Amino acid sequence: MLPLIYMIVALTPWLATLCWYDWKWRRLPNVLTLGMVGAALAWRLGYGRMPLFLDGLAGGLAAGLFLLIPYLLRGAGGGDLKMLTAVGCFCGLGRVPMLLFCTSAAGFVMAIALLIAGRADASRVKHWLRCAFDWRYDRKAGREALPPKSDERARLPFGVAIAIGAWLTIIIEIVMRATAT
């Protein structure tokens, strides 16, 4: 359990900084995201040698692949992809399913809360759903009526959800190990 405590202590300032950047400017700096990939893999190599390093590398790849299709469809940003990859490197392959579940749940709750508070715009989601399910929908006219992508209300700070998902994953792991003994 001690490495999990180290993990949450090491991740907290980094995740808090990324949350602040994403919330304020909707950007996740490469120096923080890619730097954490390197730091996580170096920590894993130093702490557990090659097996732990390979586990972190596989976890980063698996977590990054989760956002690859949304990124290619322009539904997620590159910073989100790199941040989730970095958190996957830190958590390892065994924790990636819980990480993805917690991140997705946090993102869903955050999106609903922002919609209710009027801080998010659901027009792009409505447009996408109508394109997918309504064959009579005029896609071209619908696309022209959308607000610009640079509008702050059109972009959700998914880095905050990734950070919450990472914290929840590690806390759940700590609680599960504590109750198992």
In whole angstroms, give the CA distance from residue 114 to residue 170. 25
- Mean of all residue pLDDT scores within the chain: 88
In whole angstroms, give the CA distance from residue 43 to residue 70. 29
Reported as a single tens digit per residue, the pLDDT across 95-131 is: 999 999 999 999 999 989 988 888 888 787 787 788 8
In whole angstroms, give the CA distance from residue 16 to residue 85. 17
Are 58 and 38 spatial neighbours (Cβ–Cβ below 8 Å)?
no
What does the pLDDT read at residue 84? Answer: 96
What does the buried/exposed string (b/e) look like for 50-81 if buried means 16 or more CB atoms within 10 Å of the residue's CB?
Answer: eebbbbbbbbbbbbbebbeeebeeeebbebbb
pLDDT band at residue 153 using 50, 70 and 90 as cut-offs: low
- Half-sphere exposure of residue 123, counting CA atoms within 13 Å on the CB side? 17
Give the residue from 179, 7, 155, 165 showing the smallest Cα distance to 75.
Answer: 155
Radius of gyration of the chain (CA): 18
Instruction: Work out the percent of the chain whose per-residue pLDDT is above 70.
Output: 95
Instruction: Work out the percent of the chain whose per-residue pLDDT is above 90.
Output: 49
**Is a pLDDT exceeding 80 seen at residue 181?**
no
**Is a pLDDT exceeding 60 seen at residue 2?**
no
Residue 8 in tokens: 């949450």
